[in-house]
Structures are given as structure tokens and as C-alpha cells.
Structure 1
Amino acid sequence: MKHTTNYTNTFIEVADDCPVSQAEVPSEKKIKTLAELQYKQIMKHPYRYTSDDIIFECYALKNDIPESERQQARIQFFSKGQPCLRCSPLSKRYGFGIHHNEEGKVAIFPVESKEYQKFLNDSTIKKTKAMRSKKI
């Protein structure tokens, strides 16, 4: 059975306990963080990749999986459930909303942007919150 993290026509709002009121770009570190990898991939190519594409590519980069082994590794990776972008540090910590279009392709929008507000006010788009960082 193949699991997926993809949504369609859905907007992931920042978490209720997100510590910022304006989006922050994840800082570059010696060892690339998940937030930095996701940010660069989505910002360079908005609406090009699905959630599955982004989550697996970041996993492959963090685990040094060679290009020649990625197809098989992806099948193995999605043979069990994986956390979706609701768990992404971009929405939990850095203040970015994540939009999944009709094709399931994603783009990110700063919480303070007009585009973010437009998604919140669009009744044709499903909304869900990013996961909280702390338990209540």
C-alpha cells in the first residue's frame, strides 16, 4: 500500500503557537536543516512539486541517498505513513502558510502577506492548521 502526504486545494495555516508574526527565512547552517531544505526547494520552484516530492527529496538529501537509488528508496519510504507538511517547520516555526493547488503542487506564503489573507478568506479552499509545537 502506498501512503501519501499530498493535499489538493488546501491551505495549511501557520500553527497557533508559531512564535513569529512575520515570516522568517530559515538561517543557513553548516548542516542543512529540514526547514532550509524545504524553503529552498519550494521558493525556487513554487507549484512545481507535490508534498510527497518535497518530503522525500529532503529525506534523500539528509540521508545521502544517491540519485541512482532514489526511485526504489521512494517506494520504500512511502510504503508506510509519513508526516505531512502540517509538521513542517516552515508553518510551525517560521511563519509560512503552505498552499496546495488543484494538482497538489505547493507554494509558500508569508503570514503577513496579502496572498496569505486571500487564501484565508477564500471559501473554495480547504483550510487546516499546522501542527502545534507544544502540547496544550
Structure 2
Amino acid sequence: MNLNYYDTFITVSPDSTAEVGMIPQERKGGPSKHGIEFELISGSPYTYTQEDVLFEVHVRHKGLEQEVLEERREQLREEFFSRSHACMRASALPKKYGWGLHFDKEGKVALYGVESPEYRALAANATGDLKVVPGMRSSRGK
């Protein structure tokens, strides 16, 4: 099963009120899942695929010990992907925080703030090379 996007740009959700890309705030108990997503992708653009991000967010959010992770990474990854998971269109980054997600031809992702010229260029898709899809709406309303 391959959950990755290729040559795709996920725009900010149609019902998002974000006017700029914002850094997600941490929770009192530690980083939130969307905070970890932001940290991973913004810290290493075009390094991770969607599957890599989903799995890394899972292990970091769970706080798995490094030794356990090193010994059982493939088994944990296989177990993780044996269940269904929401794709990055459902992430709070495009829904709430104003970030577009660009996946290159290798499926690696980078973030672009809704206010940036790069975001506008990717969303316009002037070359026709990208599949442009919106982030999922936060509500089921109109």
C-alpha cells in the first residue's frame, strides 16, 4: 500500500481563515502531532514522504525509546501501516495553520505559507505539471 503523493500540491483548506503560514503552538504535555509535522517538514524540506511523516509523527508523539525504535523500526512501521491513516490533506497544517504541502516527483514534501509567492505559483500550476488538491475542510458545512 502506497500512501504517498507525487507531483502534487495540497492547498490550504477552502474554509481556513489563515492568511499566513503559522507555526503550531506546543501543548502543555509536549508537542502536538501537527507541531511535529511542522518541525519535520520545515526542518528538512523535500526529505520525507507522506508515509515517513506519518510514521515519524507517530513514534515521536508516542515517545518511543530510541533503542526500541532502532531494534524494531521495520516491524513497528509495518504494524503502523497495517491500519488506515488519514492523509496529509486532513492535517491541521493546511486546515488551520495556512501551509500548502508540495510533494515533488519523488514524493518528498515541503511547506509553503499561503502568503508566499511560491505558494501562489504552485497553486496556479501554470506548467500543468502538478495535481492541485485542497486540504480537507474543518467542518462538514457548506
Q: TM-score, normalised by structure 1?
A: 0.93
TM-superposed CA distance for 1:70, in Å, is 2.4
1:33 aligns with 32
Tell me the amino acid that sits aligned with residue 48 of structure 1: T
Where do 5+ consecutive residues of structure 2 fail to align?
Answer: none
1:98 aligns with 101
User: Which secondary structure state, in structure 2, belongs to the residue aligned with residue 71 of structure 1?
Assistant: helix
Aligned length: 134
Tell me the amino acid that sits aligned with residue 11 of structure 1: F
TM-superposed CA distance for 1:89, in Å, is 0.6
Contact 1:18 1:92 survives alignment (8 Å): yes
Contact 1:51 1:105 survives alignment (8 Å): yes
1:1-136 paired onto structure 2 within 5 Å:
3-30=1-28, 31-65=30-64, 66-67=68-69, 68-122=71-125, 123-136=128-141
User: Which secondary structure state, in structure 2, belongs to the residue aligned with residue 16 of structure 1?
Assistant: coil
User: Which secondary structure state, in structure 2, belongs to the residue aligned with residue 99 of structure 1?
Assistant: strand
Tell me the amino acid that sits aligned with residue 74 of structure 2: Q
User: Which secondary structure state, in structure 2, belongs to the residue aligned with residue 86 of structure 1?
Assistant: helix
TM-superposed CA distance for 1:64, in Å, is 2.5
Where do 5+ consecutive residues of structure 1 fail to align?
Answer: none
CA distance in 2, matches of 1:109, 1:89: 14
CA distance in 1, matches of 2:36, 2:3: 17
Deviation >2 Å, runs of 4+: none
Structure 1 residues 34-73: Cα deviation after superposition (integer angstroms, max 9, x where no partner): 1110001001100001000001100111122331222211
CA RMSD of aligned residues (A): 1.2
User: Which secondary structure state, in structure 2, belongs to the residue aligned with residue 11 of structure 1?
Assistant: strand
Tell me the amino acid that sits aligned with residue 127 of structure 1: V
Higher mean C-alpha deviation, range 15-24 or range 38-47: 15-24
Q: TM-score, normalised by structure 2?
A: 0.89
